[in-house]
Structure 1
Amino acid sequence: MGPYFKSITIRWSDLDPNFHVRHSVYYDWGAYVRMCYLTETGLTPQLLLKNNLGPILFREEAIFKKEIHFNDNIQVTLQMRSATASGDRWNLLHELKHDNGTLHAIINIDGAWMDTKTRKLTTPPENFLQQFLAMPKAENFMLL
């Protein structure tokens, strides 16, 4: 199975004064694609709320390779790079590629699940865990 992805067309509001995509937009796209994946696989915001579960990020790093401009079409992919067997901690990878295959950016995410009531790290319930760990895996995926 290949990576999960969403296609995005660059809007005028995505640009900075240099007429390329603002750095913060890359992170917004990553968050959008992650939540689309979770929702489309049944891990909806309502299920998160019901289980007092929320994703938290320890690190979010963008590596910018090539400019993206107004009206370009890109794909933002999502793959899991690593996860603990309990699914409580994970590393995700986004690649932002132009329709022609050019790699424009890489986003690395280190995260975990938090109990939204106790405000402490937690392990997700088994049914949630199975869905989450079914995420497409990066070529060098590692179970920690």
Structure 2
Amino acid sequence: MEENIFYEGQVLWSQIDANVHLRHSAYADFCAQARSNMLNQLGLSLQEFNKNKIGPILFREELNYLREIGLDEKIKVSVEITKYNTQNSRFSFRHVIYKENGVKAAIVVVDGAWMNIIERKLTSIPDDWKEIIYKIPKSEDYTEIDS
């Protein structure tokens, strides 16, 4: 059930909204941290991004709420790549946010690519990153595009 967990943490007071549950933008924050942790563990650190003047950007983020998450709950976030285009390095990730009892609370899907942070244009990744990208945990429905 809970595989490829790259973030575990407690819901903080500052992440709660007026309805006394996790605010919508905190879901995206947790997923971004999980992706960052995963890439860092595989060797793509912030320093590596800066050295190559490349950073990840998102085009789309879709969030499906399944269960409420409350203050002080402990959560876990999984990350899997669902789609990757080998020609232009575009990608899609699926995240599952689990409540402390193991119940799925949300599913977040993002689509993105890599951007040259100096030119502010999309770019392909360096050859030495390709090996790292292939180490990202793949979903059961993973699709690789070669065009």
How many residue pairs get matched?
143
The alpha carbon displacement at 1:126 in A equals: 1.3
Matches within 5 A, 1:1-144: 2-86=3-87, 88-144=89-145
After TM superposition, what 4+ stretches of structure 1 lie above 4 angstroms from structure 2? none
Q: Give the structure-1-normalised TM-score.
A: 0.93
TM-score by length of 2: 0.91
Distance in 2 between residues matched to 1:5 and 1:36, nearest whole Å: 6
Q: Residue 101 of structure 2 aligns to which amino acid in structure 1?
A: N
Counterpart contact for 2:83–2:91, Cα < 8 Å: yes
Change (3 A) 1:25 1:62: same
Structure 2 gap segments, 5+ residues each: none
C-alpha distance after superposition, 1:91-141 (max 9, x if no partner): 001100123221100110000001112221111011112112211011111
Q: State the SS of the aligned residue for 1:135.
A: coil
Counterparts of 1:86 and 1:43 in 2: how far apart (Å)?
19
Query: For residues 51-95 of structure 1, what are the alpha-carbon distances to aligned partners after superposition, in whole Å with 9 as ceiling and x for unaligned?
Result: 111111000111111100112111111110010124610000110
Unaligned runs of 5+ in 1: none
SS of equivalent residue, structure 2 residue 31:
helix
Deviation by residue 1:19-69 (Cα, 9 ceiling, x = unmatched):
100000001111111111112221111111111111110001111111001
Q: Is the 8 A contact 1:66 1:103 kept in 2?
A: yes
